[in-house]
Amino acid sequence: MIPVQGMAGQHVAVLGLGRSGLSAAQALQAGGAVPVCWDDNPAARERAGAEGLACRDLSKAGAFEDVAALIVSPGIPHLYPAPNPVVAAALAAGVPVDNDIGLFFRSFATPDWDGFDTAPRVVAVTGSNGKSTTSALIHHILTAAGRPAQLAGNIGRGVLDIDPAVDGEVVVLELSSYQTELARALTPDIAVFTNLSPDHLDRHGGIGGYFAAKRRLFAEGGPDRAVIGIDEPEGGYLAGQLSEGPADDRVIRVSVTRKPGGPGWRVFARKGFLAEYRRGRQVVSIDLRAIAGLPGAHNHQNACAAFAVCRALGLAPRAIETALHSYPGLPHRSQIVAQAGGVTYVNDSKATNVDSAVKALSAFARIRWICGGLQKEGGLSGLAGATDRVVRAYVIGREAAGFALQVDADRVVCGTMAEAVAQAMRDAEPGDTVLLAPAAASFDQYDNFEQRGDDFAAEVRKGLAGQGALPPPR
């Protein structure tokens, strides 16, 4: 645990008692603060009480009279589409609002570091798509190369749950826009921007607010080095803002659509080959095509970003290349769950928006596409021209019929995952990929995208067992 510094003896309110809220309260307590906690869910309050944490109804008048700060969990809105009443009350009382990310950055460094040969570093990764894979890949490469590393944030452990740093350690954080928009301290050593596509627009008041939330990671503290995906206008703009000139190698530009120009530090992938250029000369080339854990151009972008970070941390190119080949991939992100009869079954349940689904669809040749769910703002207009490789779409979800009307491919309305997988398996031929890439949220039928992906994998195993291709599940 990372004890929170600078708040000893102060009452600090904590709103929301999920994973991040509980760990924030415990870290505050470990640092000598007095956390006062609240969650609308009685079960969450009971869990907090069992952990020895005091609860107080923060919605009542006068609740903030003795409170020095309010720590808010990521899912609780503080501005758009409307502030949570408790957040509004704190702001009206003049109480500063922060989150666990802000607490982490103010508390991570300790006097123990004075005795280290190499100061610990923090790498923070944000963006619309690919940030989980990029973060996990950086962590994997570092670990494979023998560097001490921890993975936390929006993936793995909560930021305040990690262990205190050891000599030379690197902490890799995946940060969502919900986390970056509110943190009062954001001071990573290396910051990564993967890409931008419309998402969470109601929470951020539109695409401009969404980009502004991501941009805070680079603007608030000023990282020593920035790795920027420049395939969207926002990334190009951000790289331009951070750079002092064309040869400024504090900004590493990443692309999978073109070879970036200029004499600066560039990492890009074309036709499955990663290339690193410095001072106008190519210094590295890596063939990504045979890396099973990183299929498709979108994963090649993730590989470029992870490569750039690890090079900035001093790793040799061949050590990075070796580690790339052993990367197993993340669950629910282009995850191969089975191969049988010449058919590959891929779980990309994390493809919860149109842009991520388009990238998944570009990674395979002949696709039996399982899609559908709770549509996000903007519908499926971004799918135009992206379904050329789809042999047939199998639509699930509560509004499957309406979703199917927007799919420009042969399609069948299935409704449930069980029916979609069964029909896709009956139709599939050798060389096909049965791909779950929903292009929608999961909440109409599942608690989260992980549960949806697990259901897909279970139905695939059940179907293959019925064909005699796998032993029956126990």
CB-CB contact of 99 with 148 (8 Å): no
DSSP 39: -
Separation of alpha carbons 444 and 451, rounded Å: 12
- Residue 99's CB is within 10 A of a number of other CB atoms, namely 27
359 is in an annotated binding site: no
Measuring CA to CA, which residue among 355, 337, 307 is closest to residue 133?
307
Measuring CA to CA, which residue among 242, 317, 247, 327 is closest to residue 286?
317
194 is in an annotated binding site: no
- R_g of the chain computed on alpha carbons: 23
41 is in an annotated binding site: no
Name the 3-class secondary structure at 170. strand
271 is in an annotated binding site: no
Separation of alpha carbons 426 and 163, rounded Å: 49
130 is in an annotated binding site: yes
Q: What is the DSSP string of 73-140?
A: -TTS-SSSS---HHHHHHHHTT--EE-HHHHHHHHS--GGGGG-SS--EEEEEE-SSSHHHHHHHHHH
Contacts of 60 (CB under 8 A, 6+ apart): none
Measuring CA to CA, which residue among 224, 217, 160, 152 is closest to residue 186?
217
**What is the sign of the dihedral through the CA atoms of 250, 310, 124 and 293?**
positive
84 is in an annotated binding site: no
For the annotated binding site for ATP, the residues are 127-133
For the annotated binding site, the residues are 127-133
